[in-house]
Chains A and B, each alone.
Chain A
Amino acid sequence: MDKVKKSGNNARKIKLKTLPHAKDLKWPMLWWIGMEKIYRMLPWKKTAWTCAAFPIELMWIYDIFPDHPENMATVAAARKQSQRLIEHAESMGFSRDLCSYCKTNVGAYDTKIKKTLGGISKPDIVVCTNAICDTHWKWFQIMADKMNVPFFMFDIPKSVSGTDEKTLEGNIDYVVNQFYDLMTFIEKHTGKKMNEKRLYKVLDRSMELSNLWREIFEHRKSVPSPYSGAETSAAFFPLVVLPGVQIGINFFKNILADIKNLTAKGEGTMPKGQEKYRVMWEGIPFWYRMRFMYDLAQYGAVIAFEPYTYSFAPMKKKCLTMEETLRDVAKLIMDTPYAYNLERRIENFEKWIDEYKLDGVILHENMSCRPSSAGMVDLAEAIRRDKGIPVLILQCDMNDPRAYSEEQIKTRVEGFIELMEANKKR
């Protein structure tokens, strides 16, 4: 422990290198904020609230601005506003045990906080899925009712462990039929119609964006890692709300060029020779405490892979017919890495551990995201057994700083680093 602490102390000066184009993230962000202003100004333009795993491309196809309560909740957390918004929602009756994204959003809407602090305005429609969790639809329905706005929900069947191909086909049929229901819903409430030409154009761009992100991830397999979870957690923003538009593609191209440049020189995000431990981070980051990921560098640890941001880059491709395209998209919605069933999760985690040459895994057991936290004990056990590397389960919360205990987390992280060190020596 002393040795680790000593190396930790020596490492206090270690800083992650930021990619030259990282600061360009402001352009897609400003574009998105500017677009919202335009969409709200022009009466024929429409806006929607959407959630993670919802095919955002559909909104761009229909020329509907996709606002994103979860994204705005992370902004509120990063701007140190989430706690007061959560407490405001709790004062309205929402239990302390409920999702902190939801409560941040409820608080933000009710207090009419500024957009730059995580505020959000009333949309024309609310659309969501239950692909990730029940919370999404409960929360969105409550807010749609509150705002008196039409509500649509995609009911995504669950691909539990062992789901066979035949069952999967039935599940896909159900989702595809709901695409047509969504088209009817949008036409009824916004007057907008599906344009097949635009569908393919948007999907092409979405595919290009996802492709670039996946290529970035390919380069993250390099040792040392050129790009850490500390940076991807912000940089993946275009995948959240901009799949299908050009601006995010330009940003990712520049990021990829920076990464290629680094890897060609054999350099990584950490100063030369400092990368000791390559770690996977599973779950949503602590948005109110993003420094956590940077602080890992003090121990020589880098987040070399995280399924969370990877989940946002499914390859939604154009197929021969619209029906086939929708089937393909339906399949992808049901197969998002963030919502993998336990068997798929173990299989993929073990694959990623090999591919990214990982020394340890941190599982964020998120009190605000029970679906993602279920099965973590089995996941940890399987990784330890099959891959022989340490796994740390950190119980905390993504948006509620009250769950974060600095010293307790530090102690546990230091123990984890020790284990990785001992494991390397074996």
Chain B
Amino acid sequence: MMVIWLNSLTVLFFWSKRLSKMEKLAYFDSSHEMPLEIIMAAGVIPYKIMGDVHKSNDPADKYLSSFFCPAARSWLTEGLAHSKEWAGIIFAQGCNSTNRHYDIWKVHVETPFLHWFGAPLLESDAAKKYYRIELQRLISHLENHFNVKITSEKIREAIGKSNEIKKNLQRLCALRSQKDIPNRDYLAAMIKCLTCPMDDVLAWLDSEITSWNARPAFPSGKKRFLLTGSDVTYVEWMDTLDDCGIRIVRDDLSVGERFFATLIPDKDDPLDALREYYMNIPKPATRPTIQKRLDYLYKALGETKVDGVLSQNLKFCEPFAYDSVPVNNALKAKGYKVIHLERDFSPAADQQLANRLMAFVEMMEGAE
């Protein structure tokens, strides 16, 4: 009798463990194109795949050469190792890595649910129509697979939570230019918001705003910078910037301001609201046009006084490497001090890169 009871407990423990792990639905998104609110409305936790810079990319390198984006390879490495902990995977169309890598994931990454979300690149009426179709297709697929009903009410509720997080992030991140907020704290907050359950994040953000408000004033020895270019997904690189006397007070990254710069509008039809939001967020390099990307940068630079602009792209990140030339030229033409660099996907401090940054900061101090 005792054995049966213990066995039942073991089975119960196993399933509760499995269910709690299955709650995460991972998504592959090279910017901020994934309509998270649909995932939330399906009753699962959206989890942005960001890889792990501390782990070797060897597992992914069996299928992709080293001249492919190292972040995307790291995501594949994460998928290969952890997909069984996820309820499924959704790809949102971003850069070329998404559609081509989808095919490779389909072969090698075990998952009970795989979906391609064709987020259009344009904003035309044709693109709006297509966006609606793609949203509906995603909803149907989720409903059928998870045996749930994604009602307008549930989507509205998710939009409400999403907007709360965005508002709190706006408040939190505005403190970067006023308080002593190390760069790594900002990135860690962003990563938490993109990978943890929304309810947990909401409670955590409240306490974090209080904690950041209580911090000392912006340190006098640091320079205020706007960070632009490829997404940064590991805190060590942000530490390097701090070590060089650089504080990021504004940015236009997807693991950054692009995620919370605007709110999802209040509309009768929540799908229209999502469409309007996702098609009008500040543009990354994976979406036309360069001018629209510049518009957000000018706005941010107009709102917050900075000492310089740090433009960077991850090695082999093509969209941002293309953009860096016209974007940086435009910023320089407006009189901003801009430094551009290409970085590796590595947690190790790159001393050559640090030397360049320190020289740039010294040059600024000299000019003052």
**B130 touching A97, Cβ below 8 Å:** no
A262 at the A/B interface (Cβ < 8 Å)? no
* Option from B99, B122, B285, B290 in Cβ contact (under 8 Å) with A153: B122
Q: For the complex, what is the distance from the CA of A343 to the CA of B116, rounded to whole Å?
A: 15
**Residue B367 CB within 8 A of the other chain:** no
Once A93-B325, A155-B120 are accepted as A-B contacts, the answer to whether A178 and B126 lie under 8 Å apart by CB is yes
Kindly state the separation between the CA atoms of A95 and B290 in the bound complex, as whole angstroms: 18
Stretch at the interface among B13-21, B100-108, B184-192, B353-361: B100-108
- Does A181 make an interface contact (CB < 8 A)? yes
Minimum CB–CB distance from B317 to chain A (whole Å) comes to 9
Contact A370 B102 (CB under 8 A): no
- A341-382 with Cβ < 8 A to chain B: 341-343, 365, 367, 370-371, 373-375, 377-378
Selected from A130, A146, A157, A374, the residue in CB contact (under 8 A) with B100 is: A374
- Tell whether, in the assembled complex, residue A162 and residue B106 are in contact, meaning their CB atoms are under 8 Å apart: yes
B101's contact among A167, A173, A174, A374, by CB below 8 Å, is which? A374
In the complex the two chains form, is B68's CB within 8 Å of A374's CB?
yes
Contact B321 A97 (CB under 8 A): yes
Known: A95-B321, A155-B120, A371-B96. A161 touches B102 (CB 8 A): yes
Task: Enumerate chain B residues within 8 angstroms of A365, measured Cβ to Cβ.
Answer: 65
Tell me the complex Cα distance, A153–B121, Å: 10
Query: Does B319 lie within 8 Å of A138, measured CB to CB?
Result: yes
Minimal beta-carbon separation of B132 from chain A (angstroms)? 10
Separation of A97 and B95 alpha carbons in the complex (Å): 16
Complex CA gap A393/B42 in Å reads: 43
Check if B323 is an interface residue, CB within 8 A of chain A.
Answer: yes
Interface string of B330-354 (1 = CB under 8 A from A): 0000000000101000000000000
Tell me whether B99 and A160 are in contact (CB under 8 A).
yes
Contact A174 B137 (CB under 8 A): no
Return chain B residues, CB-CB under 8 Å to A95: 313, 321, 324, 342
Is A167 within 8 A of B137, CB to CB?
Answer: yes
Residues of A within 8 A of B315 (CB): 97
List CB contacts (< 8 Å) of A167-194 with chain B. 167, 170-171, 173-174, 177-178, 180-181
Residues on A with C-beta less than 8 A from B5 are none
Q: B326 at the A/B interface (Cβ < 8 Å)?
A: yes
With CB as the reference atom, state the residue of chain A lying closest to B315. Answer: A97
Contact A174 B129 (CB under 8 A): yes
With A92-B325, A138-B322 as contacts: A181 and B124 at CB distance below 8 Å: yes
Q: Please name all residues of chain B whose beta carbon is closer than 8 Å to the beta carbon of A343 when the two chains form the complex.
A: 103
**CB <8 Å contact, A130 and B104:** no
CB distance B130 to A94 under 8 Å?
A: no
A38 at the interface (CB under 8 A from B): no
Say yes or no: A134-B286 contact (C-beta < 8 A), given A97-B67, A161-B102: yes
B29 to chain A, nearest CB (A): 14
Number of interface residues of A (CB under 8 A): 49
Q: Which residues of B contact A130 (CB under 8 A)?
A: 121
Known contacts A157-B118, A342-B107; decide if A377 and B63 are in contact (CB<8 Å).
yes
**Contact mask for chain B residues 113-133; partner A; CB cutoff 8 A; 1 contact, 0 none:** 000101011101111011001
- Check A370/B125 contact, CB under 8 A, given A93-B324, A170-B133, A341-B103: no
Complex interface residues of chain B between 292 and 324 (CB less than 8 A to chain A): 313, 315-316, 318-319, 321-324
B318, B322, B324, B328: the one within 8 Å of A370 (CB): B318
CB–CB B129/A158 < 8 A: no
Contacts of B80 in A (CB 8 A): none
Residues on A with beta carbons closer than 8 Å to the beta carbon of B129: 173-174, 177
| B289: Cβ under 8 A from any A Cβ | yes
Contact status B106-A158, CB under 8 Å: no
Asked if B235 is an interface residue, CB under 8 A from chain A, the answer is: no
B68 near A138 with CB under 8 A, answer no
A375 proximity list for chain B (CB < 8 A): 100, 103-104
| A142 beta carbon closer than 8 Å to chain B | yes
Q: Provided the pairs A181-B124, A370-B96, A378-B104 are in contact, do residues A98 and B321 lie with their beta carbons within 8 angstroms?
A: yes
Across the interface, which residues of A come within 8 angstroms of B321, CB to CB?
Answer: 94-95, 97-98
Chain A residue numbers with a CB within 8 Å of B102 are 158, 160-161
Contacts of B290 in A (CB 8 A): 141-142, 145
Q: List 8 A-B contacts (CB under 8 A).
A: A93-B324, A98-B322, A167-B118, A174-B133, A177-B130, A181-B126, A367-B67, A377-B65
Q: A145-B326, A153-B122 are in contact. List 6 more A-B contacts (CB 8 A).
A: A134-B318, A141-B288, A162-B106, A181-B124, A342-B103, A370-B100
Across the A-B interface, the 4 shortest Cβ-Cβ residue pairs = A177-B126, A342-B103, A374-B100, A158-B99
